[in-house]
Every structure is written in C-alpha cells, then in structure tokens.
Structure 1
Amino acid sequence: MGDPVAHAEHYQEAYGAGEYAAAGAAAAVLSVAEEQRHLVAYAPLVKRIVRQLNSQVSGAIDRDDMEQIGLMGLLEALRRYGVPDQSFGSYASLRIRGAILDELRRQDWRPRAVRQESHRLRDSVRALTRRLGREPQEAEIMAALKLTPEAYQEYQLAENAELIASFDDILQESLGQADSAPSPEEQLMVRRSLEQALRTLDEREQRVVQMYYEFELSYKEIAAVLDLSDARVCQLNKMALGKMKAMLQDK
C-alpha cells in the first residue's frame, strides 16, 4: 500500500484540494462557447461518476436524468472555478457527485419502509457484534439475520449510499460554499484533515477508499481487483468512511 500520506494526497486531489492556479482569485468568466466546449471535454467524467453511483441506488433515478443532473453540477463547477487546469477534474468531481446526491435526497430515493428495514438490520448487526465481541464475518451476519447473499448485499449498498452522501456533505463544508475554488488555506486544512483520517484506516480500507474516490471504480470492479465479494467491499468502504467521518467531524 505504501505511505498513507502519499495516498492522502491522491484522495485529497480527488476532492478538489489540489494546487489551483486561480485559487483565492475571482473565477474568470467563460463565454457560452467556452462553457460548451469544456462541458463536452469533461462529459466522460460525468458518465464515470454516474456509472459508479447508479450501481448503488437501484435505479432510483433514470441514468439519463442522472447524467443531466451531473452536467448541471459540472456547469456549476466551471462557473465557480473559471478556466480549467490540470486540477479542475478533481474539483469538478465533488460538485458533480454533490449535485446527484442532492437530487437523490430530494426525491427521497429510499422509501420509509426500506429505511426502517435498513435501521432494523443495522441494529441487529450491532447486537451481533456486541455478542461476539468482535466484527462479525459475512456468513455470520447472514446466518444470524437470515439473509440471502443478495439481500445482504442490498443492505450493504443502502448503508453505503447513505454514508457516502453524509461524508460528501462534510467534505463540501470543508471546502466551503464560496463562488470560487477553495482558498489555499482551505486546501491545506482539508489536506491535513484527510491525511490524519486516512492514517486511522488499515491497508485494505485505504485501498478501497483510493479505488472508489480516486479511480472511481464501482464496488464490483473493486471486488474483482481485491478478490473479495461485492458485499465485503461495501462493508470495508462503510467502515473506512465511518472512521474518516468521525475524525473529520471532530475537527
């Protein structure tokens, strides 16, 4: 895995906290033609993020609609950032993801009955953990809760989608909601916070976080790389984000 700080830099860049040439200055106003040209150039980024998120939300929003929402997030990023440079893609990723997750929340993509069932399963897993005195294995959870592998994976996906949304909110707050890219001071604070948060993770958790956020791989793709089940990757990502979220909230 290597030095976690090195991977923190990759992760931090994936959230738009890289070296911005225009950081702290007013974003240059782009013409309509320039905006259209940059929208076309960065459209593949929108498609990658939509593909990744679409696998986790069980078709709650039509894929084409998700892409349109993502393009609006990209346009907002262009207007805040100004002329794109080598770090723009990282900054835009957060804005694109944020736009899609905001719409998912607005549409209440998890019906009340689904949320209640997820909370019930979560409480059952916690009770099993206390009873065993350790983190239960997948097979133990499925046996204790009488879940099929498919139902267990659905539970993990739902838990992860909820946590990812709240984790992204914290990063949005860290980077500020100004009408321009984050200032150098904001970038430095976020970088240091993420470095410290990543140090709380074990090697496999770091790899999952890196592949999910830096390389924008889906859970299925990460599972293939690490030779794990999709559900196990979900579980690792959930544990990693939980640790990082707790540390960032303490800042």
Structure 2
Amino acid sequence: MDLEKLWRRYKENQDHAAWEQLVEVYASLVKHVAGRMRLTLPAHVEYDDLVGSGIFGLLTAIDRFEPQRGIKFETFAVNRIRGAILDSLRAADWAPRSLRQREREVARAYGIVERRLGRPATASEVATQLGIDIKELYELERQINQVAFLSLDAPLSSTEDGDQGSLGARIIDDNDEGNPLQALEEEEKKHLLAQAVQALPEKEQLVVSLYYYEDLNIKEIAQVLDVSESRISQLHTRALLRLRGFLLCHSAELDIAERQQPSTKRAVGQGE
C-alpha cells in the first residue's frame, strides 16, 4: 500500500475512502499504546475501553497531521492517542472513593509530622502517625502513584490565560467549598505553595520544579536525574502528598482562626 499516495488523496481531496483506509492501517497503533498503558493501571480498567478512547486520539491525529512537515505519523499520533486515553481516564475518575480518602489521610499525616518536626518526614514516621505498618504505607503510596500517573504521564494543559501552573490546581481542590484555602487570593495561594515546595526534600523539589515549571516530561526528568521513569513517578507522588499535607495543615489553622474570629470581635465589642 502506498501510504504517501493515501495521505495525499485524503489531505488534498478529503477522500473519505482514503480516510477509512488510514484509520484501518493505523488502528494497530492504538492497540499498541493501549496495551502498554494497561500495564500501569489497576485491574478493573478495561483494555477495550482504552482502545475505544485511543481511537478518538487517532482520528484527531489523522485530521491534524501535515505530511509535508517530514515528521513520521506514528511519532505524531502516539501523543494524541495517549492524551485521549488519559483524558478519558481522568473524566471517569477511576480511583475508588476509598483510595481518595486514604490519599487525603496519608497527605495529612505527612503535614502533621512535618509541621511537628520542622523537616521532611520519613516513611517510618508517617506510618507511625497513621498507625499502620510501613509496608502498608508503601502499598498505599503505590496505589496512589497509579492515580498520580495520570497527571505525570501527560503534558500539562494550559489554562485560558496561558498559565501552566496547574500544580496548585492539583493540590488545592477547587470543588471543596468548605476549604478555607479557597478564600485566599490567588497571590496568597501561590506564595503558600512556593513555601511548601521549598520545604520538599531536594530530589522531590527538583522533580516538581522540572515538571511544573520547566515543562520537562517524565522521560526527560528521568534522564536528568539518571533514574528510572517509575522512580520519577514515585518521587512525584510523594512530593504531591507532602505538598497537600502542608496545605491541609495550613487549611486547618485557617479554619480554627476563622471560628475564633467572631468570639474575638464580640470580646472587642464588649470592651468598648
């Protein structure tokens, strides 16, 4: 099959038959990407669902591909296929609610221990705070890491104002209306987050900086640090737990301050 001629027929004449043939030719690429991604996901995520989502990425790639640029279609399409699969996983929020709750508990434990000790907490100290065995903590972090994979394995998407600073969005839950952090001005949130990042252990701080602020992907960061991609993913997960723990503790302090404020005002009023 002359792929070059097929691409020309589709791009120049919008030949639907050529389009169908291109989809058929490259469908195996979707199966390949879905198969590799399936290895990193929980057992209940269906391979066929990944393929179905990946097809949308393939169709987008075929529509946007420009053969004259000299880039291999396979290289161009893989990122679109992976992106479509990741988008569908995020939309489905396949992480069980119980795991979300445990993630919050682990993050809070990091925050409590680190606030008390004034330094990064060890896994042993966090396990003690949670009242669990360290092996159980490692297993929890492994499961949480599978959720964090969705964030780390895809390019950051820009917001409408061009801001790539989605780190804060991934740490502070904008849907949590009861969270006092939501009352803070954007600049205050950024300042607080910068404090939290500065308190991270060196390697975790570097991963966060390279990914969220320097726009490096997981593979590039692994090359910089000369470690495996899975190790980068682990460091990223633990960094997010520490950051969220830091903010949860700060949120709790804000909540206490807000509850004390009315009584303070009453006391001032009575004094007058």
Give TM-score scaled by structure 2 length. 0.48
What is the alpha-carbon distance in structure 1 between the residues aligned to residue 52 and residue 18 of structure 2?
A: 19
Matching residue of 1:155: 144
Percent identity over paired residues: 27
Say which one has the larger Rg.
Answer: 2
- Which amino acid letter does the alignment assign opposite residue 50 of structure 2? M
Deviations 1:19-68 (A, max 9, x none): xxxxxxxx654643355346534733x34532443244313431122123
The corresponding residue for 2:50 is 66
- Where do 1:215-230 residues align within 5 Å? 226=227
Q: Deviations over 1:110-136 (max 9, x none)?
A: 233332222222222233333343433
Q: CA deviation at 1:239?
A: 6.8
Change (3 A) 1:36 1:126: farther
How far residue 109 of structure 1 moved from its aligned partner, in angstroms, is 1.1
Q: Which residue of 93, 96, 104 maps to 2:81? A: 96
Shift of 1:93: 3.1
The letter for the 2-side match of 1:130 is R
Count of paired positions: 178
C-alpha distance after superposition, 1:181-209 (max 9, x if no partner): xxxxxxxxxxxxxxxx989439xxx9982
TM-score (norm 1): 0.51
List gaps (5 residues or longer) in structure 2. 1-10, 163-205, 242-272
Match of 1:57 in 2: 41
Matched ranges for 1:48-197 at <5 A: 48-83=32-67, 85-86=70-71, 88-145=73-130, 146=132, 147=134, 148=136, 149-158=138-147, 160-164=148-152, 168=155, 170=157
- CA distance in 1 between partners of 2:51 and 2:140 (Å): 28
- Give, in whole Å, the separation in 1 of the partners of 2:113 and 2:55: 43
What residue identity is the alignment partner of 1:78?
Answer: I
Conserved? CA contact 2:54–2:84, under 8 Å: yes
RMSD, matched Cα? 4.5
> Matched residues in 1 for 2:152 and 2:101: separation?
19
The answer on 1:36 being equivalent to 2:24 is: no
Distance in 1 separating the partners of 2:140 and 2:47 = 23
